[in-house]
Amino acid sequence: MSLVTFNGNTLAALDIETTGVTPGYHEIVQIAIVPLDGDLEPQDRSPFYMNLKPEHTDRIMPEAMQVNRLKIEDLMQCPTQVQVQDTLEEWFQAMEFNQDKRMIALTQNGEFDIPFVKVWLGEVAYHRYFCYNGRDAMQFALGLNDQAAFKCRPVPFAGVGLKPLCNRLGIRLDDHHDALADCLATAKVYKELLRFES
What confidence tens digit (pLDDT) does each residue in 136-156 have? Answer: 999 999 999 999 999 999 999
What confidence tens digit (pLDDT) does each residue in 88-139 have? Answer: 999 999 998 888 899 999 999 999 999 999 999 999 999 999 998 999 999 9
pLDDT value at 4 more than 60 = no
Q: What angle do CA 61, 85, 89 make, to 5 degrees?
A: 150
Determine the pLDDT at residue 1: 47
Q: What residue type is 81 in one-letter code?
A: Q
Rounded distance between C-alpha atoms, residue 123 and residue 177, angstroms = 25
Determine the pLDDT at residue 6: 78
Rounded distance between C-alpha atoms, residue 23 and residue 116, angstroms = 5
Determine the pLDDT at residue 45: 87
Instruction: For the domain covering 10-135, report its CATH number.
Output: 3.30.420.10
Q: What is the pTM of this model?
A: 0.95
* Gap between the terminal Cα atoms of the chain: 19
Q: Show me where the domains of the chain are located.
A: 10-135, 137-195
